[in-house]
Amino acid sequence: MTIGMFLVAGGLMAFAGVQSATPYSHYWWILAVIGVGTGLVMSPMTSAVMSTVPVTQAGMASATLNTTRQVGGVFGIAVLGAVVTDVFASRLQTALSALNLPPTVTAKIMQAAAEGQGRGSLPSLPGVDANTIHAAIGNSFMTGLHTAVWIAGPVLILGALSAAIMVRGTSPAAQLARRESQLSVQED
């Protein structure tokens, strides 16, 4: 679990070097590292949890583990999504202000960007290159994404260190209780 969390953290922090114009061929390996790290975390985590409960409580432990994993994922995505959105909106507002656009045009661009609309939905303005606006949107989004991965990476490092310190083999008392539970189930 520790190695997996370090891999995911490293992959996320490496993702901070990706820009909006970076081709997929330059960062696919980062996604592979994150995937391998995730795989190294999930099975051992399940084994660690399931080995600590008697067989008669395995269903409850499995359900609790899955619920906790799902709730953690939902909250993680929500918090990091809020970070991306907040930084994106703030940076885009700053970038558009530097272009000295009329407030109504800035508002239309902000709305189009927030709704994920493409280039065709951006207003055409005399003297303002659409590529400049598009670049501002892309750069603002990537700044938000980079901020989120720089938050998630250290959190995963703390999780990896916690796993290294706290997760150990099954205690002898838990092993004995599990064996006794298995024997009583077999006898029934």
> What would the pLDDT profile of 144-159 be if each residue is shown by its tens digit?
999 999 999 999 999 9
Fill in the amino acid letter for 57: Q
> pTM of the prediction?
0.79
17 is in which domain, residue-wise?
2-187
Instruction: Please state the rounded mean pLDDT for residues 12-23.
Output: 92
Which residues does 26 contact at the CB level (< 8 Å), separation at least 6?
Answer: 18
Instruction: Please state the rounded mean pLDDT for residues 8-35.
Output: 94
- Alpha helix (H) residue ranges in 51-171: 58-98, 103-114, 130-166
Residue 125's DSSP bridge partners are: 128
Residue 20 sits at the vertex; the CA angle it makes with 19 and 24, to the nearest 5 degrees, is 85
Torsion angle of C-alpha atoms 95, 131, 14, 148, degrees rounded to 10? 40
Query: What is the percentage of the chain residues whose pLDDT exceeds 70?
Result: 85
Which residues does 141 contact at the CB level (< 8 Å), separation at least 6?
Answer: 20, 84, 88
Query: What is the percentage of the chain residues whose pLDDT exceeds 90?
Result: 53
d(CA 151, CA 178): 39
pLDDT tier at 125 (50, 70, 90 boundaries)? low
Q: Is residue 183 predicted with pLDDT exceeding 60?
A: yes
Let me know: does 149 contact 13? Beta carbons within 8 Å.
Answer: yes
Let me know: does 125 contact 101? Beta carbons within 8 Å.
Answer: yes
Instruction: Please state the rounded mean pLDDT for residues 116-133.
Output: 71
Q: Is residue 104 predicted with pLDDT exceeding 60?
A: yes
Tell how many helices (H) and how many strands (E) occur in the chain. Answer: 6, 0
Lowest mean pLDDT among 29-38, 74-83, 175-184: 175-184
Distances (CA, A) of 116 to 88, 121, 138, 153: 12, 10, 11, 26
Lowest mean pLDDT among 44-53, 71-80, 150-159: 44-53
Instruction: Please give the structure tokens belonging to residue 28.
Output: 């696919």
Total tally of structural domains belonging to the chain: 1
pLDDT tier at 188 (50, 70, 90 boundaries)? low
